[in-house]
Structure 1
């Protein structure tokens, strides 16, 4: 059975340990309680703890973050991640732990200083990542209750990015890029079709869900066959032209190439939207 040597205790919820030549930061409730340098932690007692391997490229950054962050925040983040994993039924990428600790620590500092936190993509975030957004709402309630502080709604959106990033291999920045892209596509559609997309309407949910799937397929260089492509081009030229421009917007903003098959499906959605107007 492996045994880990404690090299530093940051707080009750985080310690630096070594195993052979490798070093790890362990995060978990009570992991650092009464642990001193030289203490031994047995592997069998660490099943529920998070292991984050550190090296010369990130060790100082991680240590500084843990040494300067209220240990209460570390515990709250573990509560949030545990809640999110339970709700989703999956394990999130290890990067979410430090990502959320850093973000929440900074956000709380800004709130206490009275600095307004603005999130211009809140609506698009809520539409694009409904499940993650609902979990982020619960996370904000945990923060409010345990830190006894009012948290603005904008923070729900930012925490949503971290949760989605945790589901997608730790790449929070991709989530934000996709939301920014959708935030340009939706107004363009509304302008061209002369309509307003109501957030929770069936048409809005269907369209945004399709755009999300399209982006993820294009990022992975996947596509779906469209046997109706020629017919769509012929029967829906107006919607197809708008869809081509949407593809150009996505290429400009997030660098993806949208194939014709996908453009055709966008046009089909736009046709349904255009002909369901009252």
Structure 2
């Protein structure tokens, strides 16, 4: 392994001889008294990053000249822990976004500035696993950097993980979460039901609403075709169908998105399961 570029005394880049891809190699003093083309001291290697997206790789490399090495190490540990706990693949942008966020959060905390996460209730309720990882993360920051971040930051870490798993930016993820909460409130009061997080039926509905909200935010329409089950749903699952129409009205009024018949059918089927469960 040879040095291609020196970012600082502790970080270099190299090219994988098998794949030809650039890798970022981190280790204390790994580039000390070294130059391009020198062989990397294997004993000094602490972590190797392989970020396939060239743009994200450049952004990640730029962080090493702006952010303390210890912060980057902690962030990497949080991401590795998240990958072990979560079923979803995380977009490579998480390395840039979460590292940058944590560095700024630590700076704010040291300055006595606290930013409130106004979606904490939704995060704790809908995204319990991501929130638990966030709590683990702020515990790691306290242990390794001696900085006690507020619990709101566990929620922000959870949001970054959600964004990475959905391939969305932070703002879209927050909008999606707010929309899902509003739709659940419509369903709750219209059908007179109370959901229990962790229940399989609730989790299925939540997953459907999350992807539906993602399509709405990104203005991605399901191609409108003749929906053969629309009239059947309308005539046979009237309560679920009428509730779906209320969701349709809310979305079209607030997000300028035309909800298709196919979306109504899918949502009605999920709601019919909810109705059947509570009747039983």
How many residues align structurally? 270
C-alpha displacement at 1:163, in angstroms? 1.9
Matches within 5 A, 1:154-169: 154-169=152-167
Partner of 2:77: 79
Q: TM-score, normalised by structure 2?
A: 0.72
Greater per-residue strand proportion:
1
1:235 aligns with 2:233: no
**Mean Cα deviation higher: 61-70 or 153-162:** 61-70
Q: Distance in 2 between matches of 1:172 and 1:94?
A: 14
Q: Distance in 2 between matches of 1:41 and 1:90?
A: 38
Which among 28, 35, 38 is matched to residue 35 of structure 2? 38
Superposed CA deviations along residues 196-248 of structure 1, whole A, max 9, x for unmatched, are 4343445533421231244467748489x976432321133343233123234
Partner of 2:6: 7
Task: List runs of 5+ in structure 2 lacking aligned partners.
Answer: none
Matches within 5 A, 1:192-271: 192-215=190-213, 219=220, 221=222, 228-250=229-251, 257-271=258-272
C-alpha displacement at 1:102, in angstroms? 0.6
1:92 aligns with 2:93: no
Answer yes or no: is the 8 Å Cα contact 1:8–1:17 preserved in 2. no
Change (3 A) 1:93 1:194: closer
Q: Distance in 2 between matches of 1:116 and 1:201?
A: 34
Partner of 1:142: 140
Q: Distance in 2 between matches of 1:90 and 1:196?
A: 28
Q: Distance in 2 between matches of 1:86 and 1:133?
A: 14
C-alpha displacement at 1:167, in angstroms? 3.0
Q: TM-score, normalised by structure 1?
A: 0.73
SS class of match (1:182): helix
C-alpha displacement at 1:42, in angstroms? 5.7
Answer yes or no: is the 8 Å Cα contact 1:94–1:170 preserved in 2. no
Q: Distance in 2 between matches of 1:216 and 1:44?
A: 46
Answer yes or no: is the 8 Å Cα contact 2:24–2:61 preserved in 1. no
C-alpha displacement at 1:68, in angstroms? 3.4
Q: Distance in 1 between matches of 2:148 and 2:99?
A: 18
Superposed CA deviations along residues 55-107 of structure 1, whole A, max 9, x for unmatched, are 8x996x76764333222111101111222223347763332112111100111
Answer yes or no: is the 8 Å Cα contact 1:77–1:100 preserved in 2. yes
Task: List runs of 5+ in structure 1 lacking aligned partners.
Answer: none
Q: Distance in 2 between matches of 1:96 and 1:63?
A: 14
Answer yes or no: is the 8 Å Cα contact 1:127–1:208 preserved in 2. no
C-alpha displacement at 1:180, in angstroms? 2.1
Indicate the RMSD between aligned Cα atoms, in angstroms.
4.3
SS class of match (1:68): coil
Answer yes or no: is the 8 Å Cα contact 2:12–2:30 preserved in 1. no
Answer yes or no: is the 8 Å Cα contact 2:176–2:214 preserved in 1. no
Superposed CA deviations along residues 121-156 of structure 1, whole A, max 9, x for unmatched, are 233334544443443333233223222333333222
Which among 109, 112, 130 is matched to residue 110 of structure 2? 112
